Structure 1
Amino acid sequence: MDITIGVQNLARELVIESDQTSDEVAAAVAAALGGKPALELVDTRGRHVIVPTASIGYVEIGGESKGRVGFGTL
């Protein structure tokens, strides 16, 4: 699943690929916006991405990513 996080005062977005479900990501975002000091997600390589809640501009949760085969574009 692809997750895009817009961070205030940064020109670029954070794009993370994660094995977490969309429900898990949405719950983590809701918890962060509900009072936790930071949003913490884990990417597909096991790295932790931590964004201070006060800096979050938006979070876009993409659909489940499917394995790609071949060199063509869709």
Structure 2
Amino acid sequence: MEVKIGVQFANRELVIDSQDSSDDIEKAVSAALSGETSVLALTDSKGRRVIVPTDKLAYVELGSPSSSQVGFRS
């Protein structure tokens, strides 16, 4: 799942490829925006964590599940 996160006062958006479902990501965003947590924390497909303070979130865009890969396949 491709997730784009807009951060206030940042020139570029954060783009991560996550193994989580869109429902799981939506729940994490909703929890962060409702005040349950002070940060939005997501993990990408390589295990890296992206943590954004909730008060700096501009938008979160959920894309389609990413199934295409770049490179040669055998």
TM above 0.5, yes or no, is: yes
User: In structure 2, the residue corresponding to 1:30 is in which secondary structure?
Assistant: helix
Q: Does 1:3 align with 2:3?
A: yes
For the residue of structure 1 that corresponds to 2:19, the secondary structure is coil
Question: Displacement of 1:66 after TM fit?
Answer: 1.4
1:62 maps to which residue? Answer: 63
In the alignment of these two chains, the number of paired residues is: 71
Q: Which runs of 5+ in 2 are unaligned?
A: none
Superposed CA offset, 1:15-74 (max 9, x none): 000100000000000000010100000000101110000000000001111134767xxx
Structure 2 CA distance for aligned equivalents of residues 44 and 69 of structure 1: 15
TM-score scaled by structure 1?
Answer: 0.89
Moved over 6 A (4+): none
For residues 5 and 14 of structure 1, the distance between their equivalents in structure 2, rounded to whole angstroms, comes to 5
- Name structure 1 gaps, 5 residues minimum: none
TM-score (norm 2): 0.89
